Structure 1
């Protein structure tokens, strides 16, 4: 699929860190997969390991250390890691191969707000190339949990093992699952959409002033 034909692109990113505190923890792995708006994967994806700053690995808690040891990430860091500058260049160049236009592709992933936070702190040029909106699969999952319990309960089991590229592919699979079970295969008609919009508006949303008076 050529760059010019890539419609509604999604840039799927998953990060592995030494913890969740962006002020003290380090970004150590970033993987990227690009899809079109129909979740068609346009390339197998890329993955890069990043040399952590001094002390970052020592500061990991036991849970994170066990997770990254079991996945093989800590061992791979010893031989395959590059500098943050080199990693940023690799990630941005990869994205631009498929989405050269700035601000066109949406960032996608699972609980991707955390990934975005670490990317903003460590790879701002990557975030600046993407649209400000996100596609977060975990949001759809949480809505399914509340409104469509069977769909939530039967979602595909995950086996990614906390490696970034495998986690991304499972996130794409998960969104495809929810797309099939939660979203109608036949698009809603304009007439029906307008009817539902009128119904929702008629329900009313109290303003802050009305809430205070109540």
Structure 2
């Protein structure tokens, strides 16, 4: 199996040292980005002080989405949420540290998993697939594809955001990646040789100008004898 684990978190802020998890959702896909299983979406109870400490933009966002009200009704602890998500992941990905973590700007989510759900974090491979990285490259290399990407409507709820991240990667795979089945082995090897040659050539000092090459100092006597621009003594 070559499955991918998609996780999205909603938090009171972006600092795992002072902010807390409010919602965590998880979906698993196969390598072709087909969703496997039903997924899980859990709202976590949080102290009122943590909700009050949210900055205005985050407070408005979570109130508009309905998350704040759901958090106030929830009795689910972080530990129990971790247990449920990990059980779901293990049911579909039985191999420890095999599946990478996927999502949008996933490093932020992972920092919260590392702090609040360390067993789940440790079960996943250290590598991550960040759709936002693909998006940033598309913006620079294939701007028409970037600007035509599907519009997001997730509304900052975890499970909806995951589904949109999967949709987004499927879109970029179709529009900017090499079509299936990709290059032949010979074509891939030829491209590898060409890229390495370009890299090596770029690393060589330029033959014109300074080029970073060290210049040897001329012999003073030779320089004086050949330099006709020097003024005559006592001129």
Q: Same fold (TM over 0.5)?
A: yes
Q: Using the alignment, how far apart are the partners of 1:63 and 1:45 within structure 2?
A: 29
Tell whether 2:182 aligns with 1:187.
Answer: yes
Matched, 1:204 2:199: yes
Partner-residue secondary structure (3-state), 1:43:
strand
Higher RCO structure, 1 or 2 (CA under 8 Å, sep 6+): 1
Partner SS, residue 152 of structure 1: helix
Q: CA RMSD in A?
A: 1.8
Counterparts of 1:92-107 in structure 2, within 5 Å, are 92-107=86-101
* Structure 2 residues without counterparts, runs of 5 or longer: 204-211, 214-235
Per-residue CA deviations over 1:41-65 (Å, capped at 9, x if unaligned) read 0112101111224521111000000
> Could you tell me whether the CA contact under 8 Å between 2:45 and 2:73 is conserved in 1?
no
TM-score normalised by length of structure 2: 0.83
Give the match for residue 174 of structure 1: 168
**Largest Rg, 1 or 2:** 2
The reply to whether residue 139 of structure 1 matches residue 133 of structure 2 is yes
Q: Number of residue pairs matched?
A: 206
How far apart are 1:186 and its partner, in Å? 3.0
- Contact kept, 8 Å, 1:10 with 1:36, in 2: the verdict is yes
Asked whether 1:27 is paired with 2:21, we answer: yes
What runs of 5+ residues in structure 1 fail to find an aligned partner? Answer: 1-6, 208-212
The aligned counterpart of 1:3 is none
Given candidates 49, 57, 60, the residue that maps to 1:63 is 57
Question: What SS does the corresponding residue of 1:63 show, helix, strand or coil?
Answer: helix
1:79 Cα shift? Answer: 1.5
1:24 Cα shift?
A: 0.7
Distance 2:106 2:191 in 1: 30
